[in-house]
Amino acid sequence: MADDQAFPKCLKCESGILIPLSDYGREGATIMYKAWVCSNPECGYNIRIDNGEISFGRSITHSFK
């Protein structure tokens, strides 16, 4: 795994790190760092960009797509 120092510390739980996640847009283009998720499963803090809007702390669920 990458060096933990390369990612920011989670300011909510202070024990996890925020890990960047990427996705694909409707046209198939890569969206780099669409979300950041805390590595501490008990924390679950996340930041997402959806349709140009930033959302914080939504519940994390599994996608079956």
Structural domain containing residue 28: 6-56
Q: Evaluate whether residue 61 is within a structural domain.
A: no
Q: Tens digit of pLDDT for each residue in 45-63? A: 999 888 788 888 766 666 6
Per-residue model confidence (pLDDT) at position 31: 82
What are the backbone angles phi and psi of residue 4, rounded to the nearest 5°?
-60, -25
The verdict on residue 65 lying in a domain is no
Least Cα distance to 31 among 19, 43, 40, 22 occurs for: 22
Is 64 a domain residue? Answer: no
Q: Is residue 29 part of a domain?
A: yes
Q: Which residue has the higher pLDDT, 65 or 28?
A: 28
Query: Could you tell me if 20 and 31 are in contact, meaning their C-beta atoms sit under 8 angstroms apart?
Result: no
- Give the C-alpha separation, 39 to 63, whole Å: 18
- pLDDT score of 2: 54
- Is 63 among the domain residues? no
At residue 37, what is the residue type? V
Per residue in 6-55, pLDDT tens?
899 998 999 999 999 988 877 888 888 889 999 998 998 999 888 788 88
In a domain, 20, yes or no: yes
Domains in the chain, number: 1
